[in-house]
């Protein structure tokens, strides 16, 4: 059993491009390209990653978001924050579901 590293490093796209140029890319792209769809699918740890929800996929650029000031009850914000990072994204998803349900 392998564990994920607790040490997360972030790079800018220009830093990554420079690392690849220097040959520091550790991905064996020839091996990846040689995988069949079945082999690729079998390599995914669905228990860890979860299943992809294709119903939410779309082609194109994501909608542009608009920054606003919004007053919400403290307990609502606290609950969403307690669910982990990206709480604002989850709040947006809940509002989107509501809108979609009431559009029809």
Q: Which residues contact 88 (CB under 8 A, 6 or more apart)?
A: 80
Two tokens, residue 33? 């390209």
Q: Which residue has the higher pLDDT, 46 or 19?
A: 19
pLDDT higher than threshold 50 for residue 3: no
Give the pTM: 0.45
10 Å CB burial of residue 6 (0-12, 13-18, 19+) is exposed
pLDDT tens by residue, 72-98: 999 999 999 999 999 999 999 999 999
Question: Whose CA is closest to 68, among 92, 87, 90, 98?
Answer: 92
pLDDT tens by residue, 4-40: 567 778 888 898 889 888 888 888 888 888 999 988 8
Q: Which residues contact 35 (CB under 8 A, 6 or more apart)?
A: 43
């Amino acid at each position: 059993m392998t564990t994920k590293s607790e040490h997360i490093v972030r790079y800018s796209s220009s830093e990554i491009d420079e690392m690849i140029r220097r040959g520091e890319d550790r991905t064996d792209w020839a091996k990846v390209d040689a995988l069949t769809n079945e082999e690729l699918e079998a390599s995914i740890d669905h228990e860890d990653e979860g299943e992809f929800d294709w119903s939410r996929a779309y082609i194109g650029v994501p909608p542009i978001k608009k920054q606003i000031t919004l007053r919400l009850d403290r307990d609502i914000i606290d609950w969403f924050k307690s669910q982990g990072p990206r709480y604002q994204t989850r709040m947006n998803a809940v509002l989107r579901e509501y809108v979609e349900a009431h559009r029809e």
